[in-house]
Amino acid sequence: MRCAVLAACLLLASPLTPAEEVIHVAYSERPPYLITQPDGTPGGLTGAPATAAFHNAGIPVQWHKVPSNRQLMMVKDHASPSCAIGWFNTPQRRQYGKFTKAIYRDRTWVVLSNAAFAARNIGSLAELARQHDARVLVKDNYSYGNLDAFMTHWQPVKAISTASTLKMLQSVNTGMVDLMFVSEDEGHYIMQHHAAQHPNLRLLAFKDMPRGMERHIMCGTNVPDEVIARLNKAITFK
């Protein structure tokens, strides 16, 4: 009995701080941004700095490899403190999430198209805006940065997908859609590692493409500000 009372007193004297709570961190396999390492942690352009930030900040985490829409549900759900890796900081997402400092910045956007569409020899967004019959594939609940406003003005035939990027490119390769926007990093990775299986893919660089956006760790509003502050202190990207 005395041991039980002593244990209870110790718990009251040394409560867990919010920063010591396990944070559930979600990501999906998306090379070169996110690649699961042999030890089960995410690596890659955004995965590695995020993993390092949680580790160096001394914040315990539980990794969850889930689709992007599930990541958003975890961040919005207040049942447990959750974060997701590599998301753009947009006004809409700030309504339900908190963001760390940037962990990476994309270089620019490129167009991944099939050979038939590439044969139109379009060299700029201004020319693309006149192609109203173009069929563009976009990821559900994704933001494409400054290209969001461009697509609203352009109003192409739009197809929405919940599949992974690697599955989406199959639709481009087979001609089900004409094109999709990807980052330069992702585009070069796809052409280097998957072009042999998808020979109709073409990578188009337009002269007036906007610069890529910064990527962040996005957390739910129930994640304490102390956790965000500790992550920001641990993030080394500038």
CATH number of 18-106+214-234: 3.40.190.10
Q: Which two tokens stand for residue 66?
A: 């889930």
The predicted pLDDT at position 7 comes to 40
Query: H-type helices in the chain, by residue range?
Result: 2-13, 47-56, 68-76, 115-118, 125-128, 147-154, 165-173, 184-194, 225-234
The predicted pLDDT at position 4 comes to 40
- pLDDT cut 70: percent of the chain above it: 92
What is the model's pTM? 0.88
Average pLDDT over residues 38-58: 98
The predicted pLDDT at position 19 comes to 45
Q: Per-residue pLDDT tens for 207-223?
A: 999 999 999 999 999 99
For residue 109, list its beta bridge partners.
Answer: 183
Q: Which two tokens stand for residue 56?
A: 């160096």
Domain ranges of the chain: 18-106+214-234, 109-204
Strands of 23-27's sheet in order across? 61-65, 23-27, 82-87, 214-220, 97-105
- Asked if residue 10 has pLDDT above 80, the reply is no
Taking domain 109-204, whether its CATH number is 3.40.190.10 is answered by yes
pLDDT confidence band for 78 (50 / 70 / 90): confident
- Asked if residue 40 has pLDDT above 80, the reply is yes
Q: How long, in residues, is the chain?
A: 238
Helix, strand or coil for residue 174? coil
The predicted pLDDT at position 70 comes to 97
Question: Could you check whether 18-106+214-234 and 109-204 share the same CATH topology?
Answer: yes
pLDDT confidence band for 171 (50 / 70 / 90): very high
The predicted pLDDT at position 238 comes to 83
The predicted pLDDT at position 219 comes to 98
